[in-house]
């Protein structure tokens, strides 16, 4: 699937799921709403609601490799580019290497960078050394501004669409080929769908470990809809106290 078509379909899918959450309709069984005090202690809630200065200070405290983007990036409050691996894991788009330094698709908000640092810690435990994504920031996306002034999802650099993970030694875990989709199936928990293939099971295990750690507010998998059959959408979102894994 071409990148522009994937972007358009992903946006439509996200609009549907967020409407589902707001209406408390068909998405209920995929939605977790813990007590407010518990949600506020989560990493996703903490990072998404950091001030600009606090997000940058935390990146610096952790010694994470990044470059601050000084010019205005519409929709993104604190734009950065990653300049090295997190926990030995490199994160980059599927574009050719020479295009990555200038593409807007590799811009992200500093808040998402913090969540990805924690995600990479989980990945490193699975011997993953590389994350290949389709997009992070999408300048043509739109959405209502968050209360903190940034835009949500890809329009604000607050979400990443992960297509594949490469492991030490060269083998890959690829969402399209290793995670067969059954629309509506659960990804995590006692009633989760079982995947027989070893690679698919490991992909699901990584996602569920991340869900257990509440690293992201929204995690959309191939079980969500056809548009997500080749990637997993991971997102932090300001001012919400719920978690959706679909």
Q: What percentage of the chain's residues is helix, strand, coil (to nearest 5)?
A: 40, 20, 45
The two three-digit tokens of residue 227, written as one number: 């548009």
Residue 175 pLDDT exceeds 90: yes
Say what the pLDDT of residue 62 is. 98
SS3 of 158, please?
coil
Q: Tell me how far apart the alpha carbons of residues 183 and 95 are, in angstroms, rounded to a whole number.
A: 29
SS3 of 90, please?
strand
Say what the pLDDT of residue 193 is. 81
pLDDT in tens, 143-174: 777 777 789 999 999 999 999 999 999 999 99
Instruction: Enter the pTM of the model.
Output: 0.88
Contact 20, 27 (CB under 8 A): yes
Say what the pLDDT of residue 28 is. 66
Band (7; pLDDT cuts 50, 70, 90): very low
**Nearest Cα to 165, choosing from 225, 226, 219, 123?**
123
Angle at 50 between CA 46 and CA 53, to 5 degrees: 150
With a CB cutoff of 8 Å and minimum separation 6, the contacts of 183 are 223, 224, 225, 226
Say what the pLDDT of residue 202 is. 96
DSSP label at 144?
Answer: P
Say what the pLDDT of residue 20 is. 43
Backbone phi and psi for residue 70, each to the nearest 5 degrees, phi listed first? -80, -30
Q: Identify the structural domains of the chain with CATH numbers, from first to last.
A: 3-245 (3.30.1380)
Say what the pLDDT of residue 140 is. 86
Angle at 100 between CA 98 and CA 106, to 5 degrees: 180
Burial of 119 (0-12, 13-18, 19+ CB in 10 A): buried
Residue 4 pLDDT exceeds 50: no
Pairing status of strand 90-93 against strand 128-133: parallel
Using only C-alpha atoms, the chain has a radius of gyration, in whole angstroms, of: 17
pLDDT in tens, 61-112: 999 999 999 999 999 999 999 999 999 999 999 999 999 999 999 999 999 9
SS3 of 134, please?
coil
With a CB cutoff of 8 Å and minimum separation 6, the contacts of 149 are 77
pLDDT in tens, 196-240: 799 999 999 999 999 999 999 999 999 999 999 999 999 999 999
């Amino acid at each position: 699937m071409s990148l522009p078509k994937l972007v358009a379909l992903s946006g439509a899918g996200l609009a549907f799921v967020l409407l589902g959450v707001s209406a408390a309709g068909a998405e209920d069984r995929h939605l977790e709403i813990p007590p407010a005090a518990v949600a506020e202690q989560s990493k996703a809630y903490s990072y998404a609601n950091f001030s600009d200065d606090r997000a940058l200070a935390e990146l610096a405290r952790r010694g994470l490799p990044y470059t601050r983007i000084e010019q205005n990036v519409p929709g993104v409050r604190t734009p950065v580019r990653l300049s090295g691996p997190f926990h030995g894991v490199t994160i980059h788009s599927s574009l050719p290497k020479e295009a990555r330094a200038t593409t807007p698709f590799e811009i992200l908000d500093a808040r998402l960078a913090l969540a990805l640092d924690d995600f990479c810690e989980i990945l490193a435990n699975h011997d993953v050394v590389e994350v290949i994504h389709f997009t992070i920031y999408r300048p043509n996306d739109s959405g209502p501004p968050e209360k903190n002034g940034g835009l949500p999802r890809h329009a604000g650099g607050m979400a990443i669409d992960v297509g594949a993970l490469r492991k030490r030694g060269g083998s890959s875990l690829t969402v399209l080929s290793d995670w067969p989709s059954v629309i509506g199936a659960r990804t995590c928990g006692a009633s989760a769908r079982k995947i027989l293939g070893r690679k698919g099971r490991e992909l699901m295990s990584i996602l569920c470990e991340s869900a257990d750690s509440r690293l992201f507010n929204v995690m959309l998998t191939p079980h969500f809809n056809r548009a997500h059959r080749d990637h997993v959408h991971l997102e932090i979102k300001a001012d919400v106290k719920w978690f959706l894994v679909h």
